[in-house]
């Protein structure tokens, strides 16, 4: 299989920061398998947003912007750690992608969606443990995928990971926001908007 050219960043690209356009778009997140529902239901299992105490995973929830990135692309797993590094604006990725060293297909993966506006507008009354929180959607392109975005948790303009509080309290916040965030996730058919080219081409 040839690695999809449309995923690789180009030197003519720029970081995507137009929140008004992004609000109309959709993010997709993959799961390791297709068992994403609670048993016997069509309700998304909160465990698909697992927060391990050791890793505090929700500090940076990895997603992809649907549009040029397609649902077929979620089945591609990048194996080369160098290609998972953040892309620097203006750089060309001069790499010959080879299977399976650089990437492989994972057809067993499942997926679910977030509407960007649902994430950005999510309110948690009273915050978590008395700390006000909100969500941000940040473009974090990597060398193997320009369309990679992160959902991160902030408190009054400061990322939770940078707050001057204990790790235990941070983990409590990430675990607390998980249920609110999973309430905005959805599955099924999705008529998503393609981001205008002016938003990512210089």
Per-residue confidence of the chain (202 residues) as pLDDT tens digits? 999 999 999 999 999 999 999 999 999 999 999 888 888 887 788 888 865 544 444 567 899 999 999 999 999 999 999 999 999 999 999 899 999 999 999 999 999 999 999 999 998 888 888 899 999 999 999 999 999 999 998 999 998 888 898 888 888 888 888 888 988 999 887 788 999 999 999 9
d(CA 9, CA 88): 9
**56 is a domain residue:** yes
Using left for φ > 0, alpha for ψ between -120 and 50, and beta otherwise, residue 130 falls in left
d(CA 70, CA 7): 10
Q: Record the pTM.
A: 0.92
Do 150 and 57 form a contact (C-beta atoms < 8 A)?
Answer: no
**154 is a domain residue:** yes
Surface-to-core class of residue 11, CB atoms within 10 Å of its CB (0-12 exposed, 13-18 middle, 19+ buried): exposed
**197 is a domain residue:** no
**199 is a domain residue:** no
d(CA 29, CA 112): 6
Q: In 10 A of CB 185, how many CB atoms?
A: 19
d(CA 121, CA 117): 6
What is the span of the domain harbouring residue 154? 5-192
Provide the number of structural domains found in the chain: 1
**200 is a domain residue:** no
d(CA 12, CA 23): 23
Compute the radius of gyration of the chain from its Cα atoms. 17
Q: In 10 A of CB 23, how many CB atoms?
A: 16
Q: In 10 A of CB 15, how many CB atoms?
A: 14
């Amino acid at each position: 299989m040839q690695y999809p050219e449309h995923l690789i960043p180009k030197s003519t690209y720029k970081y995507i920061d137009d929140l008004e356009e992004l609000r109309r778009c959709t993010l997709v997140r993959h799961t390791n398998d297709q068992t994403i529902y609670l048993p016997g239901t069509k309700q998304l299992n909160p465990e698909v947003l697992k927060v391990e105490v050791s890793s505090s995973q929700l500090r940076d929830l990895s997603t992809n912007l649907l549009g040029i990135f397609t649902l077929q692309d979620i089945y591609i797993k990048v194996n080369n750690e160098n290609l998972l590094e953040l892309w620097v604006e203006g750089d060309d990725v001069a790499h010959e992608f080879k299977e399976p060293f650089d990437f492989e297909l994972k057809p067993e993966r499942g997926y679910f969606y977030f509407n960007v506006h649902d994430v950005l507008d999510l309110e948690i009354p009273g915050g978590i443990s008395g700390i006000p929180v909100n969500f941000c959607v940040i473009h974090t392109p990597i060398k193997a995928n320009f369309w990679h975005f992160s959902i991160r948790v902030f408190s009054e303009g400061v990322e939770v990971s940078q707050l001057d509080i204990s790790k235990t309290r941070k983990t409590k916040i990430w675990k607390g926001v998980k249920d609110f965030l999973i309430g905005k996730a959805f599955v099924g058919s999705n008529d998503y908007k393609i981001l205008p080219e002016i938003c990512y081409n210089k």
